[in-house]
């Protein structure tokens, strides 16, 4: 007991465990990606199909109009390490309807998620009144709004970061959530952006094709190049 001389000594064991435990593991992070896509039928199906075929872990995918009637902006939240992020960017850039891809990893940005939720106020009359007032107070604390009142329920609208919305859900869950809908995340980098001006979809595509190469990593795009919306 306690011998260190023969065989594998304690110092060797410590070194072995330190070597095993200190090996780097891929860091799974939450990445927010914006993609400008052309307004064509089936674009969303192409992008969603690409993610499904390659098994990427998508947290949310939102698409909406921009200031350019020919373009829509997709905001994609994906969970994975840097290698996964790189693959997502490369695969997106290979799709014909996608004209620009930007990752917000190294940029300061504003994010918003919108939620509508119906919460139960059912119960005895005094209890129901108490639950309703408590829910209204919670909504005020989170800068949310009561947008509909019914006999046994309230509908509340809240927007903010994903963490804020999740925290609000945790607080109202004991009251009884009857129905919940969320838009998913939209994001925009902070600061004054250089807009696209008169840049056409064709010009954006030519710029993308000139800088992309299947044998090289996906080009880094300055988030300031992304047109505001």
Q: What is the mean pLDDT of residues 97-111?
A: 87
CA 57 to chain centre: 11
The predicted pLDDT at position 192 comes to 60
Q: What is the pLDDT of residues 146-182, one digit of tens each?
A: 999 998 999 999 999 999 999 999 999 999 999 999 9
Q: Looking at the domain that runs over 29-109+197-224, which CATH code has it been given?
A: 3.30.70.260
Per domain, the residue ranges of the chain are 29-109+197-224, 111-187
Q: What is the mean pLDDT of residues 73-82?
A: 88
Q: What is the mean pLDDT of the chain?
A: 77
Query: CATH homologous superfamily for 111-187?
Result: ACT-like. Chain A, domain 2 (3.30.70.1150)
The predicted pLDDT at position 195 comes to 44
Q: What is the mean pLDDT of residues 195-221?
A: 46
Please check whether the two domains, 29-109+197-224 and 111-187, share a CATH topology: yes
């Amino acid at each position: 007991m306690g011998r260190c001389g023969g065989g594998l000594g304690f110092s060797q064991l410590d070194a072995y465990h330190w070597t095993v435990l200190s090996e780097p593991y891929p860091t799974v992070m939450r990445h927010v990606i914006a993609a400008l896509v052309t307004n064509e039928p089936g674009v969303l199906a192409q992008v969603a199909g690409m993610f499904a075929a390659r098994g990427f872990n998508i947290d949310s995918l939102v698409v909406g109009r921009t200031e350019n009637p020919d373009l829509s902006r997709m905001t994609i939240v994906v969970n994975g390490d840097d290698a996964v992020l790189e693959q997502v960017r490369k695969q997106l850039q290979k799709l014909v309807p996608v004209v620009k891809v930007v990752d917000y990893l190294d940029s300061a940005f504003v994010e918003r998620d919108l939620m509508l939720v119906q919460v139960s106020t059912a119960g005895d009359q005094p209890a129901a009144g108490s639950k309703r007032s408590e829910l209204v107070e919670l909504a005020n604390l989170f800068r949310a709004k009561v947008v509909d009142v019914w006999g046994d329920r309230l509908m509340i609208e809240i927007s903010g970061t994903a963490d804020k919305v999740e925290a609000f859900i945790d607080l109202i869950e004991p009251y009884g959530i009857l129905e919940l809908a969320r838009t998913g995340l939209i994001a925009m980098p902070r600061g004054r952006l250089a807009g696209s001006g008169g840049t056409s979809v064709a010009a954006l595509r030519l710029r993308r094709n000139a800088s992309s190469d299947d044998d090289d990593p996906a080009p880094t795009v300055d988030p300031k190049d992304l047109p505001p919306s």
